[in-house]
């Protein structure tokens, strides 16, 4: 007889009922209680499964996603909804715009209760081109509110793209943007933009200076090799300095410019640092670092015990190199602590997909935060298919360490 036949099943049920009725009363009570407990546990398990599905499908994107902003109200950034929670392979914790291409982080800062991140962004697709300054804000560096691009190429000096740059705070606390513009003939110029309304914590609108371009390539520098102004720092006499990446023939170098008002700049005679034959330097970062501990320093901090970090993004091999050393305000020269480990001689921020990094000083938690662009390894066709490309990697703080073989490293 087949084991699944009705007659066999009825006989098994009768046998089971008979066996149960023969149990002592206390055993039958235990069996009843056990069945009830088993039923409750199964119900709880099902409820938990449902809750997990609901959380992962609906609530998790709400908690960790990016969002777009279209109103004037100061929103709670932590409660915003991910626009594309089902987009494949999007990350939960690294910053990404809702869609399209992104590369270099630009001008990160903290202003009126919000962390700001600007970034190279193509509003028209998931491939490099049409570069603008994308813009997002956050209260905790995790939940982001995506805003309209802060800068677009709409002038002769930046019609080819609004390229990388930095943010500097004036003495009155107002931020300014210094950025590289690409003209139609591919000339790279340095320009300024200021907030239209400095009282707006989101800084949604920026106005370009009527004096742009502030700087054009100096004699001996090719017009296409002059880019990415750093955050400005003040020296002892109150004047400002910036460094800009370039190459002369094949010698990579960091030029230094000085200014009294952050608007009119003059090229210094000496360069900050140079390495013969190292190729084009871009996305320079130059900042002070304390000799010990995790406490970060404002970009203009100086003193006999303060070290400096010079970071160079090497266009030739697409890696970020750095050295720790001393900065001489008189000669404008940077000297690595360990000459054998100068810039481009081995020390990198990261040995993976990490490039065009930019740091900033966080005045709230007294730390220096480092951002870097990760372009992953997808092909252009794959990026187009998924509708986005790249993400930003955050290293929460920068501090000096030491070892028997390396005098100073990060």
Tell me the longest C-alpha to C-alpha distance in the chain.
Answer: 105
> In angstroms, rounded to a whole number, what is the distance separating the alpha carbons of residues 105 and 165?
9
**Mode of pairing for the β-strands spanning 388-389 and 319-328:** unpaired
Collapsing DSSP to helix, strand or coil, 189 comes out as strand
> In angstroms, rounded to a whole number, what is the distance separating the alpha carbons of residues 166 and 176?
8
Residue 355: how many other CB atoms lie within 10 Å: 23
Is 300 exposed, middle or buried, given 0-12, 13-18 or 19+ CB atoms closer than 10 A?
middle
Residue in 94, 95, 125, 120 with CA at minimum distance from that of residue 106: 120
- The reply to whether 104 belongs to the active site is yes
Question: CA of 111: how far to CAs of 3, 143, 202, 208, in Å?
Answer: 75, 16, 8, 20
> In angstroms, rounded to a whole number, what is the distance separating the alpha carbons of residues 230 and 298?
14
Q: Which residues are CB-neighbours of 20 under 8 A, at least 6 positions away?
A: 28, 31
Question: CA of 377: how far to CAs of 131, 345, 351, 380, in Å?
Answer: 21, 25, 14, 9
Residue 274: how many other CB atoms lie within 10 Å: 18
Residue in 218, 277, 283, 273 with CA at minimum distance from that of residue 251: 277
> In angstroms, rounded to a whole number, what is the distance separating the alpha carbons of residues 325 and 334?
7
Residue 270: how many other CB atoms lie within 10 Å: 13
Q: Which residues are CB-neighbours of 234 under 8 A, at least 6 positions away?
A: 240, 241, 300
Residue in 410, 380, 384, 389 with CA at minimum distance from that of residue 398: 410
Q: Which residues are CB-neighbours of 240 under 8 A, at least 6 positions away?
A: 168, 232, 233, 234, 258, 259, 260, 262
Catalytic residue among 2, 104, 219, 251: 104
Q: Which helix (H) or strand (E) holds 355?
A: strand 355-362
Which residues are identified as catalytic?
Answer: 104
């Amino acid at each position: 007889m087949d084991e699944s036949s009705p007659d066999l099943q009825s006989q098994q049920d009768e046998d089971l009922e008979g066996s149960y009725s023969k149990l002592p009363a206390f055993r039958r009570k235990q069996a009843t209680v056990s069945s009830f407990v088993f039923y409750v546990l199964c119900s709880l398990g099902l409820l938990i499964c449902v809750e997990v599905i609901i959380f992962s499908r609906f609530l998790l994107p709400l908690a960790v996603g990016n969002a777009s902003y279209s109103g004037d109200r100061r929103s709670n950034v932590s409660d915003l909804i991910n626009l594309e929670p089902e987009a494949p392979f999007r990350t939960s914790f690294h910053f990404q715009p809702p869609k399209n291409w992104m590369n270099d982080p630009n001008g990160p800062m903290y202003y009126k209760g919000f962390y700001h991140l600007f970034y190279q962004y193509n509003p028209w697709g998931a491939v490099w081109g049409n570069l603008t300054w994308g813009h997002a804000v956050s209260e905790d560096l995790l939940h982001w509110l995506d805003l309209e691009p802060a800068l677009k190429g709409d002038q002769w000096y930046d019609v080819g793209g609004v390229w990388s740059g930095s943010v500097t705070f004036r003495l009155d606390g107002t931020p300014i943007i210094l950025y590289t513009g690409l003209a139609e003939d591919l000339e790279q110029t340095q320009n300024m933009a200021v907030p239209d309304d400095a009282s707006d914590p989101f800084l949604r609108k920026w106005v370009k200076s009527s004096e742009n371009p502030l700087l054009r390539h100096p004699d001996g520098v090719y017009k296409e090799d002059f880019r990415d102004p750093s955050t400005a720092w003040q020296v002892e006499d109150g004047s400002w300095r910036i460094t800009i990446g370039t190459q002369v023939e094949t010698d990579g170098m960091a030029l230094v410019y000085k200014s009294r008002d952050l608007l009119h700049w003059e090229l210094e005679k000496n360069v900050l640092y140079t390495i013969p034959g190292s190729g084009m330097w871009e996305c320079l970062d130059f900042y002070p670092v304390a000799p010990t501990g995790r406490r970060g320093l404002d970009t203009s901090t100086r003193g006999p015990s303060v070290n400096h970090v010079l970071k160079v993004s090497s266009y030739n091999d697409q890696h970020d190199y750095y050295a720790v050393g001393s900065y001489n305000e008189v000669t404008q020269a940077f000297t690595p602590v360990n000459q054998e480990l100068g810039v481009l001689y081995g020390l990198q921020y990261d040995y993976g997909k990490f490039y065009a990094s930019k740091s900033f000083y966080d005045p709230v938690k007294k730390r220096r935060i480092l951002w870097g662009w990760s372009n992953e390894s997808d092909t252009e066709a794959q990026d187009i298919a998924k509708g986005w490309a790249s993400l930003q990697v955050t290293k929460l703080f920068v501090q000096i360490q030491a070892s028997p073989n390396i005098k100073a490293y990060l």
